[in-house]
Amino acid sequence: MPEKRNIIQILTEPFKALQNKIFAKLYMAQTVSLLGDAFSWVGLALLAYQIDKGRSPVILATALTLRVTAFIVFSPFAGVLADKVDRKKILYVTHFIRMAIICCLPFINSEWQIYVLVFLLNVFNAFFTPTYRAVIPQIIEGKYFREAVGLSTATFQLLGVLGPALAGIVAVWLGARQIFFLDGASFIIAALLILSIPGDELQKGVTAEAQKSTDIWGNVIKGIRLLFGNGTLRFALAIEFVSAIAGAMILVNTISHIKNGLVLDDKYYGWVMAIFGIGAAVSAFVLGSLDKSKTRSVSLISGAFLLGLSICFANYVSYGVLMALWLFAGLGQSLAEMPSETLIAENIASQDQGKVYGSHFAFSHLWWAVAYPIAGFLGTDFPKKEFLYGGVLTLVLGIVALIMFKKSKD
């Protein structure tokens, strides 16, 4: 009979991954870096306002588009490099380069400079993240891998809620431009943590054959083929597209609904988005402990439909009910998106995981690049029914994904 676990055991299980000292250092490096990133995005918003008050929303939207573009274009190549070259070098060099780029931001005075620096920053983000994801399944015991991913994802979600609030306080104290230097310092700390890890530990899974290969394009294509050639991964990727549609609706249209639909001020927007982030963090934290299935189908399907149902009713409820709906939406977001990272490790040979993580990182961001315009169109053309239509679209796409990939996921 399976072992019965109480709530304390479920909540503490993800922290068992920190018993692995290598993962603990990487986790701390990621946490410090993520906190620094929160400071930079708050600083960037303030900087855009300083440069051009009237165009600051356009500046930020363009910067976010460039960010996603860098991920889509460069991540597949980064994944190939993660299977070929010294992974430790990739991890710490990208940190030092991003530190240098971030420390240029306080000195800029024009819009185009923001675009150049943000694009370059995320080119190196695109090289760091697939490498980081390819390293984790090689350094941590299989039984704790899902918990490690859950802990990392939950930390990302929590810092997404708490980081900007802390950054806003620090920005008042230091100033909009000086805040970037804190992110620069976070990159240095994270890089030093990575440098303290033995290089051999980060090279596990890298084969001599992969290192000798010079066919870059061929390896990029192989990563894409492996990603879409596995039925379980194909279904997970389809659900991620469904999740992106709903997630974009929340990120793009919540502010308009709060201010125009419910006629409330900015603080109410902050609270409801914090609840969304907390829901995502809670789900990420316990998912690895609760869902032990091979395909994670229950998590994927329940996440997609929880998202769709949560946003369907948003146009017709009070603020208090909206907070509850956004809590469930956050839960659904992690349920729908998190399994892919562990499924790649469990379904792809270790010597190919880097290129597949790179391809996955590119396509998952491509889904958001498609979803953002859809959310903008619905919010602009159907301002009183945008969430209803977005929710119906999410549910329909979820049903289509379930029908099309039912055999491949079983």
Res 149: pLDDT: 77
User: What pTM did the predictor assign?
Assistant: 0.81
Where are the chain's structural domains?
A: 16-214, 223-410
Please write the tens of the pLDDT for every residue from 148-202.
777 787 787 777 767 776 777 777 787 778 888 988 999 999 999 999 988 788 7
pLDDT of residue 338: 82
Residue 298, classed as helix, strand or coil, is helix
d(CA 272, CA 46): 22
The backbone torsions φ and ψ at residue 54, rounded to the nearest 5 degrees and listed phi first, read: -70, -30
Domain pair 16-214 / 223-410, same fold: yes
* Residue ranges of the chain with per-residue pLDDT less than 70: 1-14, 57, 141-143, 161, 165, 205-215, 287-293, 406-410
Residue 40's contacts (CB-CB under 8 Å, 6 or more residues apart) are 102, 105, 179, 180, 183
Report pLDDT for 2. 45
Q: What is the DSSP letter of 259?
A: I
* CA distance linking residue 125 with residue 98, whole number of Å: 8
Instruction: Provide the pLDDT for residue 141.
Output: 67
238, 247, 229: which is closest to 297 by C-alpha? 238
SS3 content of the chain, % helix, strand, coil (to 5): 85, 0, 15
223-410: what fold? Answer: Growth Hormone; Chain: A; (1.20.1250)
The pLDDT of residue 410: 47
Please tell me whether residue 281 adopts helix, strand or coil conformation.
helix
CA distance 84 to 207: 8
| Amino acid 386: pLDDT | 92
180: nearest Cα among 91, 92, 108: 108
Dist. CA 382–CA 372, nearest whole Å: 15
Q: Write down the CATH superfamily of domain 16-214.
A: MFS general substrate transporter like domains (1.20.1250.20)
How confident is the model over 30-57, as pLDDT tens digits? 888 888 887 887 788 778 878 887 777 6
What is the per-residue DSSP string for 55-68?
Answer: THHHHHHHHHHHHH
